[in-house]
Amino acid sequence: MAVRKDEFFDELETMSAVARKQYQDRKLAEHIQHTYKYSPAVKKLFDGAGVSPEQIRTVKDMEKLPVTRKTDLVEMQKENLPYGGVAALPLNDIERTFISPGPIYEIQPSGIKWFAKSFWAAGFRKGDVAVNTFTYHMSPAGILFHEAIRDCGATVVVAGTGNTDLQIQIMKDLKVTGFVGTPSFLMTLIKRAEEMALDIKRDFSLKRAWFTGEMLPPSLRKTFEGDYDIDTYQAYAVTEPGGAIAYECRQKSGMHLMDEYVTEIVDPETGKQLAPGEIGEIVTTQLFNKDWGLIRFGTGDLSSYITEQCPCGRTAHRITGIVGRAGDAVKVRGMFVVAKQAEQAITSFKQVARYQLIVGRRQHRDEITLRLELKDKDTDTARLSEGINRKFQDICRIKADKIEFVEAGSIPEDKQGIVDERKWE
Ligand SMILES: [Zn+2]
């Protein structure tokens, strides 16, 4: 596929693998040196781990440092208000402060353009009128996305959340071409507009939508694109380290990692970096704001990454979507099995009424048993087992050892899901 020059927002997006490694290693070393000097939290983190800033020369070196999670950050700030020592500048130089649930106080300067590339990749340009339905209160979402849309040249309608009927009128009156918000809110607007006897394709000018905050299920994407001709894109954003980490391109097959962050996929238990294809926690360190010393922030979200080249021409690795939360997964034979993925694999077979995924241990080896209750006892269990085995391995990337069919009523409704029966004695 020919790559158009105006496809890319900046030159970082098409760096070679060697250039990217050099760029990230250099930016990371600079960020660490600076924040170690000016952020008390970074100094404490390094000193506590017995690591000196000079020891962090590459992304791989980050494994030497512990992961900081949201709960840690809340505690750090409670003990040392207002920023827990994370801010690496005199407090009277802070331009603005955001508040995330916790509460967590975050600072961010304006005028940083890194985030616009996500909207650019989604086709936002001068001439577009974008309705920004993220909140402008407390959270960084509203202002951050607002500035990024402006950096692409588009006009922003400062809508904020809620007010369904008014939002519909605004979109119609102002001939809005781009929606920025969550997939579920766009669906709410469409349904309500239809109740008001409006036709989305005829009465609206909506061409594209940019989503974050929720994953976009493939079925919903199909509805937006197939039924309403709305081109959809999604991005993965986390507020504490300061914004969006990954974004979709036209291929819509995974989200490219932004070079303004060092993003690692790690084993949540050990903090060690995982190989492509392995499911682990997204841990990220932003490099664009030298005044914010939040190093290795653990998002709690599980994903994996792929290194295959993307036909769009962007060269950054892609994460494959959020498959669950770190607390909802168990480690079996070194691989994380995520409750939601297991459910997706098993319940796609309509013959199954209830299920349990039992993790046991036999002769020092982890074992997965799928216990299934069927709707109809005349089901061809051999054929069903074969189908479930295949699907389970496809989605969860690990093989189930046994499938057991149990009497109806053996699995209580609230006991569905993963049951870890391993005893570590
Ligand atoms: Zn791409």
Q: Is the Cα torsion angle 87, 90, 91, 96 positive or negative in sign?
A: negative
Among 256, 262, 255, 245, CA closest to 296: 262
Centroid of ligand 1 to alpha carbon of 240 (angstroms): 26
Centroid of ligand 1 to alpha carbon of 17 (angstroms): 15
Centroid of ligand 1 to alpha carbon of 231 (angstroms): 15
Chain length of the chain? 425
Centroid of ligand 1 to alpha carbon of 313 (angstroms): 6
Centroid of ligand 1 to alpha carbon of 320 (angstroms): 12
> Taking phi first (over 0 means left), then psi (-120 to 50 degrees means alpha), and beta for anything else, what does residue 243 get?
left
> What is this structure's pTM?
0.87
Centroid of ligand 1 to alpha carbon of 251 (angstroms): 6
The C-alpha atoms of residue 272 and residue 267 are separated, in whole angstroms, by 6
Contact by Cβ (8 Å): 314, 252: no
Burial of 195 (0-12, 13-18, 19+ CB in 10 A): exposed
Centroid of ligand 1 to alpha carbon of 312 (angstroms): 4
Cis omega before residue 103 (within 30°)? Answer: yes
Centroid of ligand 1 to alpha carbon of 20 (angstroms): 16
Bridge partners (DSSP) listed for residue 131: 157, 179
Centroid of ligand 1 to alpha carbon of 194 (angstroms): 34
Centroid of ligand 1 to alpha carbon of 13 (angstroms): 9
Per-residue pLDDT of the chain (425 residues; tens, 9 = 90+): 445 568 899 999 999 999 999 999 999 999 999 999 999 999 999 999 999 999 999 999 999 999 999 899 999 999 999 999 999 999 999 999 999 888 899 998 877 788 899 999 999 999 999 999 999 999 889 999 999 999 999 999 999 999 999 999 999 999 999 999 999 999 999 999 999 999 999 999 999 999 998 888 899 999 999 999 999 999 999 888 777 899 999 999 999 999 999 999 999 989 999 999 999 999 999 999 999 999 999 999 999 999 999 999 999 999 998 888 887 888 888 788 888 889 999 999 999 999 999 999 888 889 999 999 999 989 999 999 999 999 999 888 889 999 999 998 899 988 889 998 887 66
Centroid of ligand 1 to alpha carbon of 121 (angstroms): 9
